[in-house]
Amino acid sequence: MIDDHIPKKYRDVPHLTDEEEFRSHFLSWDIGDLCMTDIRFYLEHKDTVLVPMASLEQHGPHLPLYTDTVTAWEVSKRVAEMIAVLHTPPIWAGYSPQHMHRPGAGRGTITLRSSTLLNLIYDVGRSLIHHGFNRIIFINGHGSNVKIIDPILRKLRYDTGALISFVKPYMENYYGILGDLMENPPEETPGWHASELETSQDLAWNERLVRMDRAAFTKAHIPDFLPKSFEKKDGMPDVEFEGYKYFTFPMDHHEFIETGVIGNPLRATKEKGEEAFRRLSEHTARGILELMKVPVEVHTREFVDRVL
């Protein structure tokens, strides 16, 4: 077992006295860029790996389908560089059935059935644990993945004893550490689909792929199949009735926002996107450093059931 080859002082609290020397061994923090020799060296000193995951789905007429994956991947890359940990390539497809629209509509979304995505996440996690990683940190960039993820995170933990974490570095209706950065008032939903935050982050990532000439402010509305006594303001599956949110419906995205954009992207800037990435990445990095102090005892490492 690879644990036998990890020096005792690094097993519980992975740490190197000479971080610069450690960093010099790696040309990249993406395991896909590395050789197996690099992976083995890393595991002699640290046991944490980040797994960015999100979706490939429509984000209106002005943002690329990669938008959610950009969030997860960019945060993962920045965190990895900050604290010298490895990350995997991104899981770029997610649970997005509500973004498919009618057949032939040409929206471009690729969705995975929940069972497919959960099996994929499990196999990725078990593979990493098999090789010697003890702390698997999923960095999620797509809100709908949250709807289905709990059972497989628990299964990974129960089956192996590994430390399993799921991080959500984005806004939607939770402003968190980005509240004072956004200019949109709440009614212009700055954290929602293709609005101010996501447009800003895409501008910071690759402004060439953002078509601000197509951007427009559009608001969510109640789907046609519901009575007008109900009200909807954002992308959550719940709706308001008499001012309260007790009702939830399985709705498709185009039923409450035809353009795909929930909010106002017109105040987005590259500078806001860069600052958002900085805040989210630094916060996530600090949390992971704390998790790297936690003793972890993996009781089942070998990925035996890896064929069918």
- Which tens digits make up the pLDDT trace of 22-44? 999 999 999 999 999 999 999 99
What contacts 65, CB < 8 A, 6 or more positions away?
Answer: 56, 57, 58, 59, 108, 109
In this structure, what CATH number is given to the domain that contains residue 114? Answer: 3.40.50.10310
**Which pLDDT band, with edges at 50, 70 and 90, does 161 fall under?**
very high
Instruction: State yes or no: pLDDT of 203 exceeds 80.
Output: yes
Helix or strand holding residue 87 (H, E): strand 86-87
- To the nearest whole percent, how much of the chain has pLDDT over 90? 93
Structure-derived torsion over alpha carbons of residues 66, 269, 214, 233, reported in degrees to the nearest 10? 80
Alpha-carbon radius of gyration of the chain? 21
Q: What is the DSSP string of 168-187?
A: ----TT--GGGTTT--S-GG
Mean pLDDT on 219-247: 95
Q: Please indicate, yes or no, if residue 100 is contained in any of the structural domains.
A: yes
pLDDT tens per residue, range 39-48: 999 999 999 9
Q: How far is CA 121 from CA 159, 200, 308, in A?
A: 14, 29, 15
Q: Please indicate, yes or no, if residue 147 is contained in any of the structural domains.
A: yes
Q: Please indicate, yes or no, if residue 20 is contained in any of the structural domains.
A: yes
Q: Please indicate, yes or no, if residue 21 is contained in any of the structural domains.
A: yes
Q: Please indicate, yes or no, if residue 9 is contained in any of the structural domains.
A: yes
Q: How far is CA 165 from CA 144, 152, 196, in A?
A: 17, 11, 28
Quote the Cα angle for 69-74-80, to 5°: 125
Residue type, 60: G
Domain count along the chain: 1
Task: Specify the residue for token string 């595991």.
Answer: 43
Q: How far apart are CA 203 and CA 274, in angstroms?
A: 9
Sign of CA dihedral 168, 169, 171, 175: positive
Q: How far is CA 80 from CA 77, 89, 148, in A?
A: 5, 12, 26
Q: Please indicate, yes or no, if residue 121 is contained in any of the structural domains.
A: yes
The per-residue pLDDT for 153 is 98
Q: Please indicate, yes or no, if residue 116 is contained in any of the structural domains.
A: yes
Instruction: State yes or no: pLDDT of 211 exceeds 70.
Output: yes
**b/e string for 69-103 if b means 16 or more Cβ within 10 A?**
bbbbbbbbbbbbebbbbbbbebbbbbbbebbbbee
Q: Please indicate, yes or no, if residue 146 is contained in any of the structural domains.
A: yes
**Token pair of 240 as six digits:** 């308001």
Q: How far is CA 243 from CA 149, 172, 225, 246, in A?
A: 30, 20, 19, 10
The per-residue pLDDT for 20 is 86
pLDDT tens per residue, range 258-301: 999 999 999 999 999 999 999 999 999 999 999 999 999 999 99
Strand partners, 137: 50, 165
Residues in the chain: 308
The per-residue pLDDT for 17 is 55
The per-residue pLDDT for 5 is 38
Which domain covers residue 139, as residue numbers?
Answer: 2-171+278-291
Task: Specify the residue for token string 């690879």.
Answer: 2
